[in-house]
Amino acid sequence: MKILFLVIISAVQIQLVISGVANIYCGDKNCYDILGISSSATPEEVRAAFRKLSKEFHPDRNLHKGIDTHAQYQLITKAYEVLKDENVRQSYDSFLANPSKGEYYHYYNYYKAVYAPQTNPFVVIICTLLFLSFFQYLARNNAYETAIRSVQRTDKFKQDVNNLHREQPERNKEEIKQELLQKIVIQGGQSKIKIQEILIIRVILLPYSVCKYLYKKIRWVVRYSILKKEYTKEDQEILTMQLLNIKDYRWEGLNEEAKEELLKKKLWIKENYAQYMKEQTEAYEKRKEEFLNSNKGKKYLRYMKGGK
């Protein structure tokens, strides 16, 4: 009894699925039967059947006869819309051959057949890149403006404006402020976005970037691994930045003396690098000890221990 009940319920569910999906095609009727053709009919035969039936059942041709063929004509048109398109016809054939498959499976096949061919993947990719690039620009521009406003609120900036105004009283403060802002260089994630950093530009320049990267790699291997030449100053800077994990903007922010001091250490030589890291560790430990022995350091320790 229980098995019979489950069979009945399953049959009802399948029928509901079929009825729901069928509505996107020809309802409870067979599209092929409506046009009077077989499922193996060629596209030419589909068009010929539609032309014949559309003339026969067109509402305007039958109006004077007092016969309403509007509903029949709509059904014929719907059947033709399904069968004239190769992709939609395949999804319909799949529905007829596999009526018990999930409802979403048939809906997916139908909408994929209807909309996918009309959407150019290249256009979708370009639109997506433009959309992301637009918001990237807005985000970076907002971050830059926020950083500029933060600079303007600092005491040092206000002091510089006042000092220049005292030296040049004929100029107004707003003019001086704008001049100083032009000299400020914001670095890192809040820097002013460059055109080559915009996503869509980076994608366009990707082939060039890949070729440039490969050229540098090949040049490096040939010049330094095979020919054993001395590193150029530019390459010395690259090695130093890599070893010390210094970003481009931070390196550019260093003065020339600091750069030359680091380059003189020749950190790309293992022994020099090990010695430099040892010195840095010792200097850090010394600063840490001095801090902890200072009044400020002692207060910090008491605070961390929960004291006053």
pLDDT digits (tens, 9 = 90+) for 259-301: 999 999 999 999 999 999 999 999 999 999 898 888 888 888 8
Q: Is a pLDDT exceeding 60 seen at residue 18?
A: no
What is the pLDDT, as a whole number, of residue 30? 92
Determine, yes or no, domain membership for 52: yes
pLDDT digits (tens, 9 = 90+) for 115-171: 765 667 788 889 999 999 999 999 999 999 999 999 899 999 889 888 888 888 888
Query: Which positions ≥6 away from 12 have C-beta within 8 Å?
Result: none
Clarify whether residues 34 and 20 are in a common domain.
Answer: yes
Query: Which positions ≥6 away from 41 have C-beta within 8 Å?
Result: 32, 35, 49, 83
Determine, yes or no, domain membership for 276: no
Determine, yes or no, domain membership for 246: no
Determine, yes or no, domain membership for 296: no
Number of C-beta neighbours around residue 109 at 10 A: 21
Counting every residue written for the chain, the total comes to 308
Of the candidates 187, 203, 219, which is a domain's last residue?
203
Domain with 144 in it: 122-203
Determine, yes or no, domain membership for 39: yes
Clarify whether residues 104 and 19 are in a common domain.
Answer: yes
What is the pLDDT, as a whole number, of residue 116? 66
What is the pLDDT, as a whole number, of residue 17? 45
Q: Is a pLDDT exceeding 50 seen at residue 4?
A: no
d(CA 85, CA 220): 57
Mean pLDDT for 23-35 is 89
What is the pLDDT, as a whole number, of residue 281? 93
Of the candidates 159, 185, 203, which is a domain's last residue?
203
Clarify whether residues 81 and 148 are in a common domain.
Answer: no
d(CA 224, CA 234): 14
Determine, yes or no, domain membership for 68: yes
Number of C-beta neighbours around residue 155 at 10 A: 7
Of the candidates 203, 219, 242, which is a domain's last residue?
203
What is the pLDDT, as a whole number, of residue 280? 93
Q: Is a pLDDT exceeding 80 seen at residue 65?
A: no
